[in-house]
Amino acid sequence: MQSLNRQAIALISDHADPAAAVGGEEAGGQNVYVRHVGENLATLGWQVDMFTRKVHSDDADIVQHSPHCRTIRLRAGAESYIPRDKLFDHMPEFVQSFQAFQRTHGLNYPLIHTNYWLSAWVGLELQKTSAIQLLHTYHSLGAVKYQSVQNRPQSADTRLKVEREILEKANCVIATSPQEENTLRSQVSTHGKIEMIPCGTDTSNFRLMSKLDARRQLQLNLHEQIVLYVGRFDPRKGIETLVRACALLKEKGVNNLKLMIVGGSSPHMPDGEERNRIEKIVCELGLKSEVMFAGQIGHDVLPLYYTAADVCVIPSHYEPFGLVAIEAMACGTPVVASDVGGLKFTIIPEETGLLVPPQDINAFAHGIHRILFDELWARKMRKQASANVIQRFTWGGVAIQLSELYRHVLAQSIMHEQPRNLRKPDLKNVLNSSFSKKSF
Ligand code: UDP
């Protein structure tokens, strides 16, 4: 439903469909971010259209999430899975489909918030031909990613160039942690505006519940010590480190340990290959009866898994933000995580969890052991972890900050003289709210 009284804005998320189920190869934190940001912005008075690439021919072209928030799937390449590294070739078609959608529906978005570098390229193209205000969230940074991969994809140089260009040419980019902000400044560009606005979580869903009830509902043993991993199967996520840490714990005599691995995978896809690799390591280490692969679990049931666990482990080699950490903490589950990226920002060491060097099997084993065998401390952390998330990381709070930033950017665009033939945003709606006190 479109509304004349609302300012329409576009969120662009090329490969991460906000209407898709999360937990598999192409669906993770970015899908969750765009969907929740979109829905919460709509409750603040915006008309939010979220654009993504159509991947399956039987998917609906438009999914209405709430009266003023919808996902729109655009044609850009074949309606089938295309690996992210091969998507750049289809972005010109994405731009054309986006422009055609605007023309057909008589829309003209004055503000576009892009997500991931491929969408950034789309935004920069649109900026060349229309008077848009452009904002961007990276979700992942080539400059960091390519430090740890042996074979850089063909698109690597283009990606690095686009990631620099968006920082220098957008009205503002959003860093989701101070660590990301520092990386942007030191490794991407010293020019351009950056605002730090974190990611959030749905604290009405991810909340404190009874561990006993959760275990009963999931039919899990009440006496086992449950270590949980939630996330995609991707070598960068470091599941191997966690499996090896559990093997070490078993070797040291911890014999009632269960490692629960939550995350989707499909055969013949990269996540299926990673799952096979992990299963092979599990067998080699003689851990078959200690490890349970739960598959992809939706956000409706996931709080039970976090609650049932004694500790949630995030062994990523790098993590720009890491939604799983705040979801686990919101449920009161302490975390042991790699001391990298956004995890340094969300986790308070010794109070809500522990940070250890990435890929350090001994350090992970030691951290997990400390939490499993100090029940009093773990209980204390439970309350502190959930309070930390409620105070700092709700989607409602994130959307308020983004909304203020949008209004500020739109108001600034109105203040600056614009050519007569370019349509301006609806002044009444843009100004109809207090501006941020933040300085730009
Ligand atoms: N997730 C899920 N079901 C699964 C596995 C993961 O819903 O089976 C969700 C998880 O709850 C989180 C997101 O996928 O919201 C992962 O986000 P994160 O930022 O931790 O990692 P990313 O996927 O962005 O690398």
CATH superfamily of 211-392: Glycogen Phosphorylase B; (3.40.50.2000)
Nearest CA to ligand 1 atom 14: 28
- What are the domain boundaries of the chain? 7-200+395-431, 211-392
Fold classification of 7-200+395-431 is Rossmann fold (3.40.50)
Q: Say what percent of the chain tops pLDDT 70.
A: 93
Q: What is the pLDDT of residue 440?
A: 31
Taking the chain (440 residues) in runs of 10, the rounded mean pLDDT of each run is 78 96 75 97 97 96 97 97 93 98 96 98 97 97 86 92 98 97 97 98 97 97 96 95 98 95 91 96 97 95 98 96 97 97 97 98 98 95 96 97 97 72 48 39
Mutate to test the pocket of ligand 1, among 323, 338, 340, 389 (most ligand atoms within 8 A of CB): 323
**Ligand 1 contacts CB of residue 389 (under 6 A):** no
Helix (H) or strand (E) holding 119: helix 117-129
**Identity of residue 389:** V
**Identity of residue 245:** A
**Ligand 1 contacts CB of residue 302 (under 6 A):** yes
**Gap between the Cα atoms of 402 and 123, Å rounded:** 18
**Gap between the Cα atoms of 95 and 124, Å rounded:** 10
Q: What is the pLDDT of residue 435?
A: 36
HSE, side-chain direction, 13 A CA sphere, residue 55: 19
Indicate the burial class of 221 (C-beta count within 10 angstroms; 0-12, 13-18, 19 or more): exposed
User: The sheet that has 46-53: what strands, in order across it?
Assistant: 62-66, 69-74, 46-53, 7-12, 111-115, 133-137, 172-175, 194-196
Helix (H) or strand (E) holding 162: helix 156-169
Mutate to test the pocket of ligand 1, among 13, 30, 32, 203 (most ligand atoms within 8 A of CB): 32
Mutate to test the pocket of ligand 1, among 84, 232, 389 (most ligand atoms within 8 A of CB): 232
Distance 3 CA to ligand 1 centre (A): 33
Q: What is the pLDDT of residue 145?
A: 87
What contacts 280, CB < 8 A, 6 or more positions away?
none
